[in-house]
A and B are shown apart, each in its own frame.
Chain A
């Protein structure tokens, strides 16, 4: 601190007389001795980058009188504050600044900001501008899954991985969604997907119905049915489609078309007798009867039904009779239905121009431009993991192939389309404790999104990518840059795996709970792990290839299946209305963004009125 001492003054009065000078008078009486004055103090304080008065850092100069003479300029004594700010780096010169300005991260950041400004200037905020809407849902694709998949994809292409971008990493807008269900801190797919496609959060385990429903109680459904974005699009005259690598009757796809008090009522054999007696309809039947059911709910409408339905789950559409087995049935009797109905035959009778396909050959043979509608059921249960797809007997299309074909069919309608695409087996890979399966499915999910971006016009297509929930999947330790993401932790500057306190190496990826360690070599079916015992004790991984498809990561808490997690998930968007994806929000706003961008409710109301 610097002190400036100034003269202490006493009051001086000068008498001024007019006229001639007179005689000098007598000296007057001495005045009172003046009191000592106060020191004036000045404080100089460095302020860092980001200070509101000096954004590029600088010096804050405070001054005032030391009125209590304690030699310190306290807050109450400051009478003036000035700033001597550093010049902005962007205008300054010199070696230090040049080192910063020329750095590739700095340049990349500037370019990103420039692009962000262009994006914001080109915002298309017109209601209803989005002719098409595609909602991609990576089931169980939490933030750590996105990060690890990004690194794996980059490393598979020969890079270090961390800098790589998945297709949706490049989207201009992103935010976070809070995933909890109305009655559950950590959610399930039924409640979360219902929130995304209806705008209404609801209970865990129920589909397309509001929280007043009682899970498993058929009678409680009446009066709680919600309207989904897919239904609004259908009423509005758009084409509609649903794709999933899980069973098409599984929770995520089912939330778009079904109203059910229980996500597990996939066919009539899954339902309690009371629910059947009370008139509740199983989920597979609701899919096949979608057109009729929606028309009965909204008097006077005439819709044409869902054009594209691609996924697994034949068992819920076929009678429990071996005579109805498909060419690649796994079970002795493929169908589960106990009401003798063959829903695939019913669908073909209702839509004689529709194509029912069960394998890759049938799928590939479809001429999309001349296909009115398609029902593709490629597996008895879930479709294969992407890593295991080559093992399907009759052959399955990939998620990318299904997405491209679906768009090619749906865009035959000039009114546009609404499509939901679920990568359902990311979730199953995690449940099985197999990071390899979860990540390779996530990479294929990214490929499918890229295919959608390439096959649509960005000026009229809103694409939203998100997850329904996360998993207890972690990226841990301090592995060096470029360390194989499926490998063991090797620290910065090291070449051998780092040892934990138990003198054993450990993997970067791990699970908080689940079935734990498995070393199944080249096995690409993650579910093979379920046939092995749960092992959660620490293992010596020294001689184990942890990047092999059959390696299952260690877990802390033993459970029959690894669980979902409750943290927020990412939401990524591109196209008209995508700028509304910002901040941390309830998951249910995804519906509202889609609805506003495509004016779904308004267009549907116009039809209804």
Chain B
């Protein structure tokens, strides 16, 4: 291989590396505007099975969790001052109730809202294998506690759970499955735009609005 061939090969290699980095960066941007839908199968101690469908919407520093069967949704905003503001919205009534922003500490874990799994827990999990590239990168991770086994298929560049199995005594007690998702999602933008048009009230003001039948409930 002469020097020119060597340089050409190096250039191609660097180009590929750069293209991969661009893909990853692209994922990083696209995953900020996401709509994702999950099926959640839970099994109670009595053996009863329940199926719920959870919709996850992300738009920059805002996240919505809404169960399909439920009129009520949770809408979190991470403010520029690293505080978390919670709103509850009610689609049927087109109303929003606002809570005062609080510091993101303790139970106010932003990652749990944003990607449905605690970041610290993720780092504790053992990487079993990694496949795919860029947006399609998948990681299989496991974690074993005294009684419980977790098996996670994680999309690290999208910050999405693909699947999660939680087992105890070889019985699956909870199983999450990503049914569908869209990146750079218009659906997410539409959802947040829709909420801005709902009538909003501070929770502190509900007591002064007893004549409003919505608040009375």
Which A residues contact B (CB, under 8 angstroms)?
A: 188-189, 204-205, 215, 251, 263-264, 270, 320, 328-333, 336, 381-382, 391, 393, 427-428, 430-432, 525, 527-528, 530-531, 560-564
B101 near A330 with CB under 8 A, answer yes
Asked whether, in the complex, the Cβ of A431 is within 8 Å of the Cβ of B204, the reply is yes
Nearest neighbor of B210 in chain A, beta-carbon distance: A563
- The reply to whether B77 and A331 contact each other, CB–CB distance below 8 Å, is yes
Residues from chain B with a CB closer than 8 A to the CB of A188 are 208, 210
Tell me which residues across on chain B come within 8 A of A336, comparing CB atoms.
200
Which of A333, A528, A531: most chain B CB closer than 10 A? A531
Is B136's beta carbon under 8 Å from chain A?
Answer: no
B199 and A527 form a contact (CB under 8 A): no
Q: Is the CB of A205 within 8 A of B211?
A: yes
CB within 8 Å of A: which B29-49 residues: none
Cα–Cα distance between A391 and B81 once the two chains are bound (Å)? 12
User: A433: nearest residue on chain B (CB-CB)?
Assistant: B207
Query: Which of A189, A320, A431 has its CB near the most chain B CB atoms (within 10 A)?
Result: A431
User: Is there an interface contact between A531 and B99, defined as CB atoms closer than 8 Å?
Assistant: yes
A264→B209 contact, CB < 8 A: yes
**Quick check: is B83 within 8 A (CB to CB) of the other chain?**
yes
Contact with A along B70-98 (1 / 0, CB 8 A): 00000001011101011000000000001
Instruction: Check: B69 CB closer than 8 A to any chain A CB.
Output: no
Interface flag for B175 (CB, 8 Å): no
Determine which of B80, B83, B196, B206 lies in contact with A561 in the assembled complex, contact meaning CB atoms within 8 Å: B206
State whether the Cβ of B168 lies closer than 8 Å to any Cβ in chain A.
no
Closest 9 CB pairs of A and B: A431-B207, A561-B207, A330-B101, A530-B203, A428-B204, A561-B206, A527-B100, A332-B77, A393-B81
Report chain B residues within 8 Å CB of A328. Answer: 81
12 additional A-B pairs beyond A328-B81, A525-B102, A561-B207, beta carbons within 8 Å, are: A189-B208, A264-B209, A270-B199, A330-B79, A331-B98, A333-B196, A336-B200, A393-B81, A432-B204, A530-B203, A531-B86, A561-B206
Chain A contact residues: helix, strand, loop or mixed: loop
Q: Does chain A have a CB within 8 A of B61? A: yes
Number of A-B pairs, beta carbon distance below 8 Å:
75
A329 touches B79 (CB 8 A): yes
In whole angstroms, what is the CA distance A333 to B100 when docked?
14
B217 within 8 A of A: yes
Residues of chain A contacted by B206 (CB below 8 angstroms): 431, 560-561
Whether B211 contacts A204 by the Cβ 8 Å rule is: yes
Please name 23 pairs of A and B residues whose Cβ atoms are closer than 8 Å in the assembled complex, sorted by A: A204-B211, A263-B208, A270-B199, A329-B80, A331-B77, A331-B98, A331-B101, A332-B61, A381-B204, A391-B103, A427-B208, A428-B204, A428-B207, A431-B206, A432-B204, A530-B204, A531-B86, A560-B206, A560-B215, A560-B217, A561-B203, A563-B210, A564-B207
Do B85 and A331 touch (CB < 8 A)?
yes
Residues of chain A with a CB closer than 8 A to B202's CB: 381-382
Query: Is the CB of B62 closer than 8 A to any CB of chain A?
Result: yes
**A residues less than 8 Å from B211 (CB atoms):** 204-205, 215
Inside 8 A of A263's CB, which chain B residues have their CB? 208
Whole-angstrom distance between the Cβ of A430 and the nearest chain B Cβ = 8
**Bound: A562/B215 CA distance, A:** 12
Chain A neighbourhood of B77, CB < 8 A: 331-332
